[in-house]
A and B are shown apart, each in its own frame.
Chain A
Amino acid sequence: MAKIYTFLKYLFVILWACFVIAPFLWAISTSFKDFNSVTSGATYIPWLQFEPTLDGWSVLFKPGSQGGINIVGPYFNSIFVTLTASIISIALGTLAAYALSRYTFKAGIVQNNDITFFFISQRIMPPVVLSIPFFLFLSTLGLLDSLAGLIMVYIVLLMPIAVWIMVDFFNRVPKEIDETALIDGCNPFQAFFKVVLPNSIPGMIVAGLFCIIFGWIDFFFAFILTFTNVQLLPVKIVALNSSITPWWSLSAAALVSVAPLIIVAFVVERYLSKGNLSGALK
């Protein structure tokens, strides 16, 4: 009975993996095709069914003057904006979450939970609602179409995630640990930096993972708040879609854009599998 169960479990996981991997395989195969191979019906295996070419890839790294698309600039813009916004969001979010978890705030009827909800409510609204205020806000500051403006907007979008995850994390850390640090001669800042923070790394990794994913995949705000000066990767990729869609380079660009997330997932997976994320504090 147990064997059948294990067999079914693995069978399901394998089928599911095939299902998930299929679009990637399709994108990989398409990225090596040219116009004729793409338009002459479904083909899968290179050399046998179609003649592979590197044109779809090489065009991505050629400058525009040579007829290329050059995604290198947008690529580094995306990395820079996502990482900067994520790091600032985690730093500020962790501090805010610690305060919300450990201290009681009260202004009229507004209490800790309301403040936490206020943070999350930024994510509950449809992004369209925020687009006009953000646009006006950045245009007043003269930061439209700039990396700094995008980073500011992304911090607004990512910090709620960090606050939310870290409040939950700190609520599960016994406050007696902070108290013991105080009793052992730490002032509240030392207690936070010497005792609480070193034990919060697992939570910060999870929060960082979410921030990086949500920052990296954002198309909407990058599309609305930038024009020509600054371009982020998702906008650049979608912009490839012209009268004749270059499916080959579109596929290649999509694969390149997913790569960092896959690397991040592999790095974090090692922490997850070690059980470091859950069992650090009980």
Chain B
Amino acid sequence: MSLQLGNISLKPTEQYHLNDVTLNFEPGKMYTILGRTLSGKTTLLKTIAGLQSPDSGSIHFMGKDFLSIPVWERNVAMVYQQFINYPHLNVRENIEFPLKQRKMEPSLIDKEVSDAIKKVGLEGFEVRKIQELSGGQQQRVALARSLAKKAKILLLDEPLVNLDYKLREGLREEFKKLFKGEEASQSILIYASTDPLEAMQLNGDIIVIDEGKILQVGSAKDVFENPANAKVAEITNDPAMNLNNGTIQDNKLIFNNEIQFDLPSNLQSIQPGDYQIGIRATDIHLDENGFGFDVDISEISGSETFLHLHSQNIKCVATIEEVKSYEVNQVVKINFDTSKIYLFKESGELLHSPFKS
């Protein structure tokens, strides 16, 4: 039943690339592919769907060689970031299109379509033209179409990114509900996202991808607490985890030859030497007795303020738990919670996580 990708590679051209991707997807589970724009998420989904052929590697699904099956016989479903529907058909015709294409019984089609329309909450809109719907409704139509197909593999390529905030929150909750139903236990759900917060909220297995390479696969908690390397730590945090050069020597922890701390107790066992020090924006806080940093930018985000700061050698972003505006070049005093520090080897690999005892 599982979907297996073996050493999939796709030569870098203008925008498509995959580099030796090996993954295993199990039915009944939700996977989130997390990566930045142009990291290869869409290419990976299109390769699974069959819209793109890899240069090398294999794809097997339920024991069959998937690469020898053309797209139109693979029975996958895909929802795009753009709201893609058939503009010449109305809502109902859009949803029944794949079922008619499969020559399903008309009575069965009626039932499936009505079910799907109910699931996404589009009752009463059946005969509307696509152009007469709002963006959120258009995306619901696309979603209903992919649900009605009951495909064994459902691919969602940043489906919420073009919606406004409120709709996004609402639809995301619905997603989680929709994919917990009994049918969902038969199918593989793969969701691509650039937003670490969204990936955490969906709470499935997270696949971190960058430049076409899979960096880490694990549960949301695992990826958050033990990022495999510095790159993963950057990608899976918003704002990205602060990374600075650091040194451990003489029981001291030194940031960029500039700021010096006593070595925290949980780092006592680490060999002296040069490392990359990672610290989350939330683990930097204002402190009257702290170090002076200049403000580059301050952004207010909901109930928090992101401060982009720099000193002589250090750049970092701090999350301040209040809404307050700061002047550019204003000096603020901050301190670092050194017990929450991550250490990465200079090659980038994780050496120490505060969650690992």
A180 touches B84 (CB 8 A): yes
The answer to whether residues A187 and B70 also contact, given A174-B82, A179-B51, A198-B88 and a CB cut-off of 8 A, is yes
A185 touches B86 (CB 8 A): no
A184 touches B101 (CB 8 A): yes
Q: Is residue A28 contacting chain B, with contact meaning CB distance below 8 A?
A: no
Considering the complex, give the chain B residue whose CB is closest to the CB of A177. B84
Q: Is residue A195 contacting chain B, with contact meaning CB distance below 8 A?
A: yes
Contacts of A190 on B, CB cut-off 8 Å?
Answer: 72, 101
A184 to B76, CA, bound (A): 8
Q: Interface residue count for B (Cβ, 8 Å)?
A: 28
Contacts of B72 on A, CB cut-off 8 Å?
Answer: 182-187, 190
Q: Is residue A130 contacting chain B, with contact meaning CB distance below 8 A?
A: no
Contacts of B88 on A, CB cut-off 8 Å?
Answer: 195, 198-199
Considering the complex, give the chain A residue whose CB is closest to the CB of B151. A183
A180 to B81, CA, bound (A): 12
A183 touches B78 (CB 8 A): yes
The answer to whether residues A186 and B80 also contact, given A195-B86, A280-B87 and a CB cut-off of 8 A, is no
Q: Is residue A14 contacting chain B, with contact meaning CB distance below 8 A?
A: no
CB distance from B302 to the nearest CB of A (A): 31
The answer to whether residues A184 and B84 also contact, given A179-B51, A279-B131 and a CB cut-off of 8 A, is no
A280 to B80, CA, bound (A): 19
CB distance from B181 to the nearest CB of A (A): 22
A179 to B88, CA, bound (A): 16
Q: Which of B170-192 contact A (CB under 8 A)?
A: none
CB distance from A111 to the nearest CB of B (A): 13
Contacts of A195 on B, CB cut-off 8 Å?
Answer: 86, 88
Contacts of B149 on A, CB cut-off 8 Å?
Answer: 184
Q: Is residue B102 contacting chain A, with contact meaning CB distance below 8 A?
A: yes
Contacts of A174 on B, CB cut-off 8 Å?
Answer: 82, 84
B101 touches A185 (CB 8 A): yes
A280 to B102, CA, bound (A): 27
CB distance from A120 to the nearest CB of B (A): 25
B86 touches A183 (CB 8 A): no
A199 touches B101 (CB 8 A): no
Q: Which of A169-210 contact B (CB under 8 A)?
A: 174, 176-177, 179-187, 190, 195, 198-199
Q: Is residue B49 contacting chain A, with contact meaning CB distance below 8 A?
A: yes
A184 touches B145 (CB 8 A): yes
Considering the complex, give the chain A residue whose CB is closest to the CB of B71. A182
The answer to whether residues A180 and B101 also contact, given A186-B72, A280-B87 and a CB cut-off of 8 A, is no
Contacts of A180 on B, CB cut-off 8 Å?
Answer: 78, 80, 84-86, 142
A179 to B80, CA, bound (A): 10
Q: Is residue B77 contacting chain A, with contact meaning CB distance below 8 A?
A: yes
CB distance from A53 to the nearest CB of B (A): 54
Q: Is residue A11 contacting chain B, with contact meaning CB distance below 8 A?
A: no
Q: Which of A181, A182, A199 contacts B87 (CB 8 A)?
A: A199
Q: Is residue A281 contacting chain B, with contact meaning CB distance below 8 A?
A: yes
Contacts of A187 on B, CB cut-off 8 Å?
Answer: 70, 72
The interface bits of chain B over 145-172 (1 if a CB of A lies within 8 angstroms of the residue's CB, else 0) are 1000100000000000000000000000
A203 to B51, CA, bound (A): 26
Considering the complex, give the chain B residue whose CB is closest to the CB of A180. B84
A177 to B78, CA, bound (A): 11
Q: Is residue B97 contacting chain A, with contact meaning CB distance below 8 A?
A: yes
Contacts of B87 on A, CB cut-off 8 Å?
Answer: 199, 280-281
The answer to whether residues A183 and B102 also contact, given A176-B84, A199-B86, A280-B87 and a CB cut-off of 8 A, is no
CB distance from A195 to the nearest CB of B (A): 6
Contacts of B46 on A, CB cut-off 8 Å?
Answer: 179
Q: Which of B49-83 contact A (CB under 8 A)?
A: 49-51, 70-78, 80, 82
Considering the complex, give the chain B residue whose CB is closest to the CB of A181. B86
A136 to B343, CA, bound (A): 81
Binding site for B on A (CB under 8 A): 174, 176-177, 179-187, 190, 195, 198-199, 279-281
28 A-B Cβ contacts within 8 A?
Answer: A174-B82, A177-B84, A179-B46, A179-B49, A179-B51, A179-B71, A180-B84, A180-B85, A180-B86, A182-B50, A182-B51, A182-B71, A182-B72, A183-B49, A183-B72, A183-B78, A184-B98, A184-B149, A185-B73, A185-B98, A190-B72, A195-B86, A195-B88, A198-B88, A199-B87, A199-B88, A279-B131, A280-B87
